[in-house]
Structure 1
Amino acid sequence: MAKAPKTEHSELAGEFTDDGITVLVDIYRPAGTQGDWTLEVITEEDDVTTWEEPFPTDREAFDEFLATVERDGIRSFFGEPEPNPAVH
């Protein structure tokens, strides 16, 4: 079984709370490289949002996260709510 590559996490990564909701912002890249940074947001319900395109700097990744919260709200990282069952 292959080992997962080691990663280096940004100092900007961590918990972020807005509107009473906390998410984990994870910004990482392969350890020991100068590679691009990956941005993921993980909710308390384990919904994971991963940006498809990497970022040249961890600051750019974090700024994109902040812009998304400002534009779409922190609730945008949560999966679709379960539909209400029909009552007959």
Structure 2
Amino acid sequence: MTDFPDIIRSPLSQNVTQDGITVRVEIYRVDGTEGWTLEVVDAEGGSTVWQDSFATDAEAFAEFTEGVEQLGLAKLIDPDDDDLATVH
């Protein structure tokens, strides 16, 4: 039987709403590894995961908030091709 690694979930994980759009911000890492993963899950279950990991959960959350400030939440979860190169 395969053992699955423990997932450490950041206390910074939370629901965020902007302009009537609510997403779940998930920040997590695998126990025993370095680097936090940033994932944003929309109401339909669609997921945007950043390719790069972050040294701290705070850095991951700051990346999310910066993206929201620059693009808005709607564009962050459904970016144009030009937005992908800029944000994540």
State the TM-score bracket (shorter-chain normalisation). Answer: 0.7 to 0.9
Runs of 4+ in 1 over 6 A off after TM superposition: none
**5+ long unaligned stretches in structure 2:** 81-88
Higher alpha-carbon Rg: 1
The answer (yes or no) to whether the contact 1:43–1:78 under 8 Å persists in 2 is: no
Figure out how many residues of one structure are paired with residues of the other and give that number.
79
Relative to 1, partners in 2 of residues 1:75 and 1:30: Cα closer, same or farther, differing over 3 Å? same
Q: Which amino acid aligns with 2:8?
A: E
Give me the identity figure in percent. Answer: 42
TM-score normalized by the length of structure 2: 0.79
Determine which structure has the larger helix proportion and give its number: 2
Structure 1, gaps ≥5 residues long: 81-88
1:16-70 deviation digits (Å, cap 9, x = unpaired): 1111211000000012x36110000000011100000000000000000001111
Which amino acid counterpart does residue 62 of structure 1 have in structure 2? F
| Distance in 1 between residues matched to 2:51 and 2:30, nearest whole Å | 16
Alignment match, 1:86: none
Q: State the TM-score, normalized to the length of structure 1.
A: 0.79
- Code of the residue aligned with 2:46 in structure 1: it is D
The answer as to 2:65 corresponding to 1:58 is: no
Give RMSD over aligned pairs.
1.9
1:3 and 1:47 map into 2 onto residues whose CA distance is: 27
Mapped pair 1:37 → 2:33: no
* SS across alignment from 1:41: strand
